[in-house]
Chain A
């Protein structure tokens, strides 16, 4: 039997799709209320590995286990609202700890569970930064993470840390459980800062439940026959909110596949979709692209994707050729291109802000690139000409979006500006960071998403995402993290590095960091570049172009801060100059 008492797979089958209690689309005050109701039925979460079902965890069993663990955690007598950090593997343990917190007013925080090649120190450093930033009172991780956790917690004021089983040895507290209330914090979600200064969005139960209702009622209009599949990690907002909390709060069954297994063998996702006759799965464009590139043509006929009615796609800019290619390739397996549901959202708004209408598929606006860049106007062009952007739907019920210029004026349709969001599912702020919170949340309740886009027929289209963020292999890379790694080198100082993304091959993005360095010694320069490159791989698992420039040459803004955009323009100009003679000589 597994450590958490879930049903191990001995011929046990996954939880059914159809439930024994009526579907309620997340119309609950809190997650604990939602789980209390889900536990009356027979649906639940199922964990798969190596093509087999490993654990079936009906919500009924989850509730019993979560309440038992909650009583044990209560024996620690932590103040309400204390943070419980959970290294978030795709496991029943994560789910059990997350919901145990809900029954006693503790705040779960999912920590990343991916360690890169050679990334031991980088992972410990990141974990420690996050534990400190959320002021964790408790930290839990599976056995294989204990050696990292032990290093990360050293010297921190943590009440208890260890493996899940260690918590099962705590005594049961006899006081009645007091679940997290509507105006208490449901969870913290880290949004950035893997090596720099981590930031975590504070989401209350009220905000979360408003978002879950918006997604399951208005957005996806969940039905009795809906079933989910997910390979997204629980430390990602789409994995946690979209593929755990929404699913449970609407009493749907779900089949989970470990993220690493998906990354190694994307076909497992399609196999699981086929076997379970799942109707809903989300992925960033990256996941659809991986499938399209890696699926063996000979296997396609063996898949049955005909039940897949909502293929959510979002979390990063959508190049329309990605879903188009996936749909074309998998049409023989019954995949319907109309199943694509482009969507827009962010951790600061719990998750979803908008969904394109379910069943419509991808609608593309082709825009005049010159009008777009010079006049910030979304002027349509004939299909196939200009630059394509995907419409991501209208705001979910109770929410509003508007586009503003830099002066804060609201812009008309097809005018490009900052995307602002208002509504009940916004975060309360970034945890213990009032200044950063005030930068994005206005007193009258608008969130400045940092993304750039326009409205058309009431739908939003994103033309530029969050300022400065670089997306590589489906992951968000923050330039601050790259700069931090560079600037901590002994021969450099702060403000010596400026990082940004540039277009790479096939519509991908490449990270570049321009570094000020005052030595001409070739050996020293080479050693520095190699060390920085290796440390960037270990922390972020990306290749990064490193350019050394003389000291005092990085461009600054009028306020004296390094300007990433000016550094980027300079870099691109230097590259263009270098390529001219090469091109003409070829």
Chain B
């Protein structure tokens, strides 16, 4: 699975949660500033990500994640470690 695939799958996960705030979600879309993901939404997102990609995202790994693309990279890193 390459980066573009992960981004595409992530966009599919994020889109229904974004409640139409951004018409065209891309790798550059900001999860907080643009999509307005608060603490509960982030939990829902991580639950969906962990289930979909079958990974466990470390608690503090999100500290430097701001965009959809950065989260995709994190998912690849975590999945790679467990592969």
CA–CA, A145 to B61, complex, Å?
Answer: 10
Q: Are A117 and B33 interface neighbours, CB within 8 A?
A: no
- Asked if A584 CB lies within 8 Å of chain B CBs, one says no
A543:B36 contact, CB within 8 angstroms: yes
B62 CB–A CB distance under 8 Å: yes
Task: Given A117-B66, A118-B63, A144-B59, decide whether A542 and B39 contact each other with a Cβ distance below 8 A.
Answer: yes
Is A119 among interface residues, defined by CB-CB distance under 8 A? yes
| B39 with A533: CB separation less than 8 A | no
How far, in whole Å, are A541 and B40 apart by their CA atoms in the complex? 9
- Closest B residue to A124 using CB positions: B63
Q: Determine whether the beta carbon of A115 is less than 8 Å from that of B40.
A: no
Are B60 and A116 neighbours in the complex by a CB distance under 8 Å? Answer: no
A118-B64, A541-B39, A542-B39 known; A144+B32 contact, CB < 8 A: no
In chain A, positions 112-127 with a C-beta closer than 8 Å to chain B are: 113, 115-120, 123
> Cβ of A534 and Cβ of B33 under 8 Å apart?
yes
Contact A116 B47 (CB under 8 A): no
**Is A265 part of the binding interface, using a Cβ–Cβ cutoff of 8 Å?**
yes
Known: A118-B65, A541-B42. A145 touches B32 (CB 8 A): no
Q: Which residues of A contact B13 (CB under 8 A)?
A: none
> Across the interface, which residues of A come within 8 angstroms of B11, CB to CB?
none
Nearest chain B residue, comparing its CB with the CB of A530: B33
Chain B residues touching A, range = 20 to 34
Contact of A537 among B38, B40, B47, B63 (CB under 8 A): B38
Evaluate contact between B59 and A117: CB separation under 8 angstroms. Answer: no
Q: Which of B33, B36, B39, B50 contacts A116 (CB 8 A)?
A: B39
Task: Check B22 for interface membership: any CB of A closer than 8 A.
Answer: no
With A117-B42, A117-B65, A117-B66 as known contacts, state yes or no: A537 contacts B60, CB within 8 Å: no
Residue of B nearest to A120 (CB): B63
A533 CA / B58 CA spacing, docked (Å): 25
Chain A residue numbers with a CB within 8 Å of B30 are 534
The closest CB in chain B to the CB of A258 belongs to B59
Chain A residues lying within 8 Å of B33, measured Cβ to Cβ, are 530-531, 533-534, 537
Q: B-facing mask of A331-347, CB < 8 A → 1, else 0?
A: 00000000000000000
Tell me whether A148 is interfacial, beta carbon within 8 Å. yes
A148 and B42 form a contact (CB under 8 A): no
For A, the interface residue count at a CB cutoff of 8 angstroms equals 27
CB of A221 within 8 Å of the partner chain: no
**Which of these, A117, A475, A530, contacts B37 with CB under 8 Å?**
A117
Shortest Cβ distance from A487 into chain B, in angstroms? 19
Chain A residues 531-558 with CB under 8 Å of chain B are 531, 533-534, 537-538, 541-543
Is the beta-carbon distance between A263 and B43 smaller than 8 angstroms?
yes
- Residue of B50, B58, B64 near A120 (CB, 8 A) is B64
Distance A123 CA – B30 CA, assembled complex (angstroms)? 19
Contact A473 B66 (CB under 8 A): no
Is the CB–CB distance between A123 and B39 below 8 Å? no
Which of A113, A116, A472, A530 contacts B62 (CB under 8 A)?
A116
The answer to whether B39 touches A148 (Cβ under 8 A) is: no
Q: In the bound complex, do residue B59 and residue A118 qualify as a contact, i.e. CB atoms below 8 Å apart?
A: no
Q: In this assembly, does A3 line the interface, its C-beta being within 8 Å of a C-beta of chain B?
A: no
Measured in the bound complex, the distance between the Cα atoms of B63 and A152 in whole Å is: 14
Question: Are B63 and A115 closer than 8 Å at their CB atoms?
Answer: yes
Kindly provide the distance from the CB of A456 to the nearest chain B CB, expressed in whole angstroms: 34
Contacts of B59 in A (CB 8 A): 113, 115, 144, 260
Q: How far is B47's CA from A514's CA once the two chains are assembled, in angstroms?
A: 34
A264 at interface (Cβ–Cβ under 8 A)?
yes
Write the nearest CB–CB distance from A585 to chain B, whole angstroms.
22
Q: A115-B59, A148-B63, A473-B39 are in contact. List 13 more A-B contacts (CB 8 A).
A: A117-B37, A117-B42, A118-B32, A118-B65, A120-B63, A144-B58, A144-B60, A263-B39, A264-B50, A530-B33, A530-B34, A531-B33, A534-B66
Give 13 pairs: A residue, B residue, CB < 8 Å, sorted on A: A115-B62, A115-B63, A116-B42, A117-B62, A144-B59, A260-B59, A263-B39, A264-B50, A265-B47, A473-B38, A537-B37, A542-B38, A543-B36
Task: State the 7 A-B residue pairs at the shortest beta-carbon distance, nearest first.
Answer: A534-B33, A537-B32, A541-B39, A120-B63, A118-B66, A115-B63, A263-B43
